[in-house]
Chains A and B, each alone.
Chain A
Amino acid sequence: MAQYIFLTLALLTVITALLMVFSKNPVHSVLYLILTFFAIAGQYVLLNAQFLAVVHIIVYAGAIMVLFLFVLMLLNLNEDSEPQKSSRWKIGAGITSGLLLVTLVGALKGSIQLQVPESSNPSVGLVENLGKVLFTDFVVPFEIAGILFLAAMVGAVMVGKRDLKV
């Protein structure tokens, strides 16, 4: 059962990602990327990483992609006005990424020797366990992440101001 769910979600992710790259209209790209993110959230559920699945949907589909959609509509880019790169450039990009794929697959295939522990803990991705780890071992990085958010917020407001008097 699990492998069918995995294959379905993987196919859905790859197809929507390809549609995202190839669709001419940027708004369609955003919508396909949201579908991709939902399929990836399904993969997290399959891995029993429920905290990550929920956070992924809230952060990506709820915040980041809505921000992207707002900017697209604010700039009025929702018609097919995007100039295309030349076909020679596209062929070059295809060859480059294909070579990267072949290299990565060739390097990684068969080289993974993972010792899966016999008594694996299935509740490792639940909120209780992750919260304990996050607020004991990783409490300093967590606070630094808060400062990073503050800096990003101030930076975004400063960059977006129309006439900045320094």
Chain B
Amino acid sequence: MLETIRIIPIEHYVLYSTLLFVIGIFGVLTRRNAIVVLMCIELMLNAVNLLLAAFSTYLSDAQGQIMVFFIMVVAAAEAAVGLGILVMIYRNTKSTDISLLDKLRH
């Protein structure tokens, strides 16, 4: 058996990735630069990935790690399209401040 899963209980991984996820949410709520908000979303995705990989190793089931692989695929696609949209927004408004983008509210 792997030494890691004998020594470290799974609760540590759960608490650890919960903490990372909450830091990501805090960043999304406090930052106004849209690029940093996208980076915080990447951090949240990574917290979920880490927990999936941990459970996959503890149960010695490969499906969790395949799921992590597909989440990485979706994260890469999301970053490409999101940054394309951001560059377009910057061309039109000369800023990446997300609090300028509340036209739907008015």
How far is A130 from B58 in the complex, measured between Cα atoms in Å? 16
Contact of B27 among A21, A48, A98 (CB under 8 A): A21
Q: For chain A, give the interface size range.
A: 35 or more
How far is A40 from B17 in the complex, measured between Cα atoms in Å? 10
Q: Interface majority SS on B: helix, strand, loop or mixed?
A: helix
Q: Is B19 a contact of A101 with CB atoms below 8 Å? A: yes
Q: Is A120 a contact of B1 with CB atoms below 8 Å? A: yes
A-B contact pairs, 25 of them (CB 8 A): A3-B8, A6-B8, A21-B27, A26-B33, A29-B39, A36-B43, A47-B4, A59-B76, A67-B83, A71-B35, A77-B35, A82-B31, A82-B33, A83-B97, A84-B32, A85-B30, A98-B22, A101-B22, A104-B21, A117-B60, A124-B56, A125-B56, A129-B62, A156-B80, A159-B85
Q: B residues engaging A (CB < 8 A)?
A: 1-5, 7-8, 10-12, 14-16, 18-27, 29-33, 35-36, 38-40, 42-43, 46, 49-50, 53-63, 65-66, 68-70, 72-81, 83-88, 90-91, 96-97, 99
